[in-house]
Amino acid sequence: MNISVPIENTMEFIEQTVISPLVSKCSIKVCYVGPDPNRNGTVITKEVAKEMGRQIPASPIVGFYNEDTEDFEQHNRDIEIKDGKFRLVDTTKAYGFVPTDAKVWF
């Protein structure tokens, strides 16, 4: 039986299989299900997690890797100032995808 417990890190790698030097297949824990808030203050109920689980297969895995902290962070943007104008630049990158036959559990 799997039990959802809060984690300190952004995500938890549960198992990982290297397919090639550039590709790995892995199982990861991406959220905490329960009545207590996650690190970002959100609460994900079992009902919400079930709906999220139905929608996650074939989804891209995206994020922002902070080289200074050596950790993944939220989806990030930078502010670029050029010729006196501000522009938001998305710094989020795609790292993979969730297979269509992914096992979703919590």
pLDDT value for 29? 78
In a domain, 7, yes or no: no
In a domain, 67, yes or no: yes
**Domains contained in the chain, number:** 1
Nearest to 2 by CA among 53, 66, 78: 53
In a domain, 92, yes or no: yes
Torsion angle of the four alpha carbons 52, 56, 57, 60, in this order, in degrees rounded to the nearest 10: 180
pTM higher than the cut 0.75: no
In a domain, 102, yes or no: no
In a domain, 105, yes or no: no
Q: Whole domain around residue 38: which residue ranges? A: 12-97
pLDDT tens digits, one per residue of 47-62: 988 898 889 899 888 8
What is the full per-residue pLDDT of the chain (106 aa) written as tens digits? 444 444 455 567 778 888 888 888 888 877 778 888 877 788 888 898 889 888 989 988 888 888 888 877 777 888 999 899 999 988 888 888 889 988 888 7
In a domain, 17, yes or no: yes
In a domain, 1, yes or no: no
In a domain, 6, yes or no: no
